[in-house]
A and B are shown apart, each in its own frame.
Chain A
Amino acid sequence: MPANTAWPIVLAFGCTLLLGGILLGEIISLLGVVLVLAGCIGWFRQVLPHENAEHVPVEVQPVEIETKRKTVQRFKLPGLHVEPGEIIPTSPLIAGLKGGIAGGIAMVIPVLIYGQIAHGSIWYGVNLLGGAGVADWQNVTPAQINAFHWQWLLIALVIHGVSSLLVGLIYGAMLPMLPSRPILLGGIALPLVWSGLEYASMGLINPALASHVSWPWFVVSQVAYGLVAGWIVSRDENFKRVRNMPFAIRVGLEAPGLMHENHQGEGH
Chain B
Amino acid sequence: MADQTLPIGGALDITPQKATKQSFFEWLSEWFITVDHKKLGILYISYALVFMLVAGVEALMIRVQLAVPNNDFVSPQLYDRLFTMHGTTMVFLVGMPILFGFANYIVPLQIGARDMAYPRLNAFSFWLTAFGGLLLYYSFIGGFGLYGVGTAPDMGWFAYAPLTEKAFSPGHAPDYWAIALIISGWGTLGTAINIIATTISMRCKGMTLMRMPLFSWLMLVVSGLTLVTITPLTAAQIMLMIDRYLGGHFFDTQAGGSAVMWMHFFWIFGHPEVYVLVLPAFGIASEIIPVFSRKGIFGYAAMVAASVGIGFVSLGVWAHHMFTVGMSTPTTTFFVLSTMLVGIPTGIKIFNWLATIWGGKIVFATPMLFCLAFLFQFLIAGLTGIMLSAAPWDWQLHNSYFVVAHFHYVLVGAIVFNIFAAIYYWFPKATGKMLSETLGKWHFWLFLIGFHLTFDFMHIPGILGMPRHIYTYMPDRGWGIWNFIETIGAFVQAIAVLVFLYNVVISLMKGKEAGNDPWDAWTLEWATPSPPPAYNFATDPVVNSRRPLWDLKHPEDPDWKYE
Contacts and interface: CB of A to CB of B under 8 A. Distances in A.
A237 interface: no
B62 to A, nearest CB: 26
B85 to A, nearest CB: 16
Contact of A15 (B183, B300, B561): B183
A8 B119 CA distance: 10
B182 A19 contact: yes
B469 to A, nearest CB: 25
Contact of A19 (B127, B179, B334): B179
Nearest to A9: B127
A27 B463 CA distance: 52
A151 interface: no
B330 to A, nearest CB: 5
A1 interface: yes
A143 interface: no
Interface residues of A, number: 57
A255 B290 CA distance: 12
Contacts of B538: 58-60
A116 B552 CA distance: 70
A259 B135 contact: no
Nearest to B32: A9
Interface string B288-312: 0000001110111110000000000
B178 to A, nearest CB: 9
Interface stretch (B11-19, B247-255, B426-434, B442-450): B11-19
Given A22-B245, A261-B561, A67 B15 contact: no
A74 B142 CA distance: 64
B552 A23 contact: no
Contact of A8 (B120, B183, B300): B120
A69 interface: yes
A154 B427 CA distance: 59
A198 to B, nearest CB: 12
Nearest to B300: A254
Contact of A6 (B18, B32, B134): B32
Interface residues of B, number: 79
B257 interface: no
A261 B179 CA distance: 57
Interface in A231-268: 251-256, 259-263, 265-268
Contacts of A20: 135, 179
A59 B15 contact: yes
B176 A254 contact: no
Contact of A255 (B11, B14, B123, B295): B295
A71 B295 CA distance: 12
Contact of A23 (B3, B119, B179, B330): B179
A254 B32 contact: no
B465 interface: no
A19 B544 CA distance: 49
Contacts of A263: 561
B509 interface: no
Interface string A1-33: 111111111011101100110111000000000
Contact of B172 (A19, A23, A259, A268): A23
A2 B131 contact: no
Interface stretch (A94-102, A181-189, A199-207): A199-207
A267 to B, nearest CB: 4
B553 A4 contact: no
A58 B535 contact: yes
Contacts of A254: 296, 298-301, 562-563
Contacts of A205: 330, 333-334
B302 A252 contact: yes
A252 B299 CA distance: 6
B30 to A, nearest CB: 7
A68 interface: yes
Interface in B1-34: 1-3, 10-16, 18, 30, 32-34
B202 to A, nearest CB: 13
Contact of A12 (B124, B516, B560): B124
Contacts of B142: 23-24
A139 interface: no
A253 B355 contact: yes
Contact of A58 (B15, B187, B527): B15
A148 to B, nearest CB: 28
Contacts of A266: 1, 3, 560-561
Interface in A35-56: 43, 46-47, 56
A91 B78 CA distance: 60
B48 interface: no
A1 to B, nearest CB: 6
B206 interface: yes
B329 interface: yes
B256 interface: no
A4 B27 CA distance: 13
A268 B206 contact: yes
Nearest to A7: B120
17 contacts: A2-B115, A5-B120, A12-B130, A16-B131, A16-B132, A22-B175, A23-B179, A47-B120, A56-B533, A67-B553, A69-B294, A75-B359, A204-B329, A254-B296, A256-B557, A266-B561, A268-B206
Given A1-B36, A4-B34, 20 more contacts: A4-B30, A4-B33, A6-B32, A11-B124, A12-B131, A12-B187, A16-B134, A23-B172, A46-B120, A63-B13, A67-B554, A201-B333, A205-B330, A253-B298, A254-B296, A255-B298, A256-B559, A256-B561, A259-B562, A266-B560
Q: Which 8 A-B pairs have the closest CB atoms?
A: A12-B127, A8-B124, A16-B131, A267-B1, A8-B123, A67-B553, A62-B10, A59-B15
